[in-house]
Amino acid sequence: MRWKSVLAASLLALLLLGGCTSPQAAVETTGPKLLSVYIDGEFVGYVADPEVVTRAVQGFLWSERQRWGMWVRSASDITFVPSRDGDGPILTDASELVAERIDVVTEAAGIYVDGQPVVALRSPEEAAEALRALEDAYLAEVEARIRAERQNIRSFSIDEVTRPEKVETRPWLVHPAEVRTVEEAVAILQRGTDKVIIHVVKPGESLWSIAMANDMTVEDLRKANPEVDANPHLIRIGQELNLVVPDPYITYHSTDTVQYAKAIPFSVEVRYSAEHWPWERFVSRYGQYGEKLVSVRTIRENGRPVSREVIEEVVVRQPVSQIVVQGTRPIPDRGSGSLIWPLEGRITSGYGWRSLGFHRGVDIAANVGTPVKAADAGTVITAGWVGGYGKAVFIDHGGGKLVTVYGHNSVLKVKPGDVVSKGQVIALSGNTGRSTGPHLHFEIRVNGRAVDPVEYFKRQTLGQ
């Protein structure tokens, strides 16, 4: 039971007792002059002279001020009560007792969020600095998110930053150990301190994977674990890591506007042309992407987007359509009757009898790989290996009445059934089949009978 009014400062208690004005003290004049000492209502011993305690308290406060580097005062009540029948220890040195029993406090600058003290700093100036740093950190986070969310950003602005909580700075009496640095205060305001989760490192884990799995940054993980911060490359299996999952005391709402460039796709136009065969399809003009600048407004809560709206789109460059030409030229079902020579070259063997037998065509010298052209438009009736002709192409120029033959090729460019135009490359010359050197064997068959190609061309040229 408290016996006298409690006084935080022991000096004041001494003043009262030193005057000996209390009725109790005046009565007890015959007994031993001992005083019972109470700290925070608890009896701790007797002293003959209260100076024993007050000097110890002054010494303790002095050393605490040195230790913490800030003004502190006692938070404990020390009471002296005159006693006659003391049989406890009589204190001659109270310094150990005082160091154990006395609590000290300092008047810190408390940041209060919605009326609740959250973090203590050394001064109102440091509290203001922490709040500024907190907002700067939020702006930096939003900027990092904006840059991660879009490519080709041309400009952005972060507008209206607000916080829904009521935040104020007021004096707060705390133990000196509770006073935080600006950096610590920012971390507490950002992450909160009410949640503590321990993670035991498992094989194969990294700081990165642990942080990702817990919605933290590696930097946060490092701050929460000083030993890891010292050497982030050495985390070991079984190690306990503090995971302080962000649960901020102060939240931010913000709006940002981002302008970015976006490609506009081009269309493809098909133009039909009777100047080209149906198998001809080509790009006559390549398409080009256009570009527009898109402005997007995003509303965020703690950096996370909660709504997003396109507010403007400005076309900077229109796309250019791609033009594809598709041939529609009617396919002749028979040749013109007017032939062209399949390739230019020296005739090394003519039509007619020779030592090996009757030669049904002409041999035209050509290096392997020389393009072989169709003598006239027509339909491919054979394309493949034909005995002594090697790789050969037969083209019907109209109802079987006129057929041209191209032998000894190295590569065939057509297949049976293909409709070819006059002059179209149908093969590359070669040396396949019964051949004694690279050349093209060219035959003209009229009504199934091979004629002399040279004579045929002579008559054709003379109009006979």
Q: Which stretches of the chain bind Zn ion, using CB under 5 A?
A: 363, 441
How far apart are CB 359 and Zn ion at their closest, in Å?
A: 6
Q: Between 363 and 396, whose beta carbon lies closer to Zn ion?
A: 363
Can you tell me the distance from the alpha carbon of 136 to that of 134, in angstroms, rounded to the nearest whole number? Answer: 5
Pairing status of strand 322-327 against strand 268-273: parallel
Query: How far apart are CB 319 and Zn ion at their closest, in Å?
Result: 57
Least Å distance between CB 365 and Zn ion?
11
Q: Smallest gap, in angstroms, from Cβ of residue 408 to Zn ion?
A: 8
Pick between residue 110 and residue 453 the one whose CB is nearest to Zn ion.
453
| Least distance in angstroms from the C-beta of 361 to Zn ion | 5
Instruction: Please measure the distance between the N-terminal and C-terminal CA atoms of the chain and give it in whole angstroms.
Output: 145
Residue nearer to Zn ion on the CB measure, 32 or 352 = 352
Pairing of strands 116-121, 347-349: unpaired
Side-chain half-sphere exposure of 423, counting CA atoms within 13 A: 2
> Based on CB atoms, which residue is closest to Zn ion, 251 or 431?
431
Between 155 and 348, CB nearer to Zn ion: 348
Report yes or no: 258 and 313 within 8 Å, Cβ to Cβ: no
User: Which residue type, as a one-letter code, is found at position 393?
Assistant: V
Nearest to 128 by CA among 105, 107, 110: 110
Q: How far is the CB of 460 from Zn ion (least distance, A)?
A: 21
Closest CB 388 distance from Zn ion, rounded Å? 9
Nearer to Zn ion, 180 or 359 (CB): 359
Q: Which residue is nearest to Zn ion (CB)?
A: 441
Instruction: Determine which helix (DSSP H) or strand (DSSP E) holds 64, and give its type and residue range.
Output: helix 51-68
Residue 426 CB, nearest approach to Zn ion (Å): 17
Alpha helices in 192-278 (DSSP H): 207-213, 218-224, 226-230
The DSSP bridge partners found for residue 427 are: 372, 412
Residue 220 or 363 with smaller CB distance to Zn ion: 363
- Angle of the 10-18 helix axis to the 51-68 helix axis, nearest 10: 160
390/407 Cα distance (integer angstroms): 6
- Amino acid identity for residue 62 in this structure: W
Among 120, 127, 131, 126, which residue's Cα sits nearest to residue 179? 120
Tally DSSP H helices, then E strands, for the chain: 10, 30
Radius of gyration of the chain (CA): 51
Of the pair 239, 382, the CB lying nearest Zn ion is at 382
